[in-house]
Amino acid sequence: MNWTPLQSMDQLEDILSGTSPSLLFKHSTRCSISTVALERLNKSVLSDRVNAYLLDLLSFRDISTAIASRLQVHHDSPQVLLVKNGKCIYDESHLAITVSEIEQALDNSL
């Protein structure tokens, strides 16, 4: 995966106003489950299909809160959100995060 660090509210606004699919991974650097989920994603080629953003929850909690509010999803950690046209089309957390389900959500959004 080719992750872009998500570090500003302006970036979040650009993601939400864009029409291309974006994958947001909310990562807790202190959580082993989050590390496992990130490793699963890193082994994929999803970044060929989506813009991939990595949010460090410990450093940017305000952005995480804004994501939950703007997309009307509950906050979790780790959490992956697939966003297209300003809406969350896929949301999963912890070890339920799978590349195949993200790919299926992408296929269904076409």
- pLDDT 10s digits, 19-42: 999 999 999 999 999 999 999 999
Q: Per the structure, how many domains does the chain have?
A: 1
- pLDDT 10s digits, 38-88: 999 999 998 889 999 999 999 999 999 999 999 999 999 999 999 999 999
- pLDDT 10s digits, 90-103: 999 999 999 999 99
Given this model, what pLDDT does residue 9 score?
98
42, two tokens: 């890193």
Q: CA dist 64 to 58, 68, 110, Å? A: 10, 6, 27
Instruction: Tell me the whole-structure pTM to 2 decimals.
Output: 0.94
Give the CATH number for residue 87. 3.40.30.10
Given this model, what pLDDT does residue 3 score?
96
Given this model, what pLDDT does residue 51 score?
96
Domain encompassing residue 42: 3-108
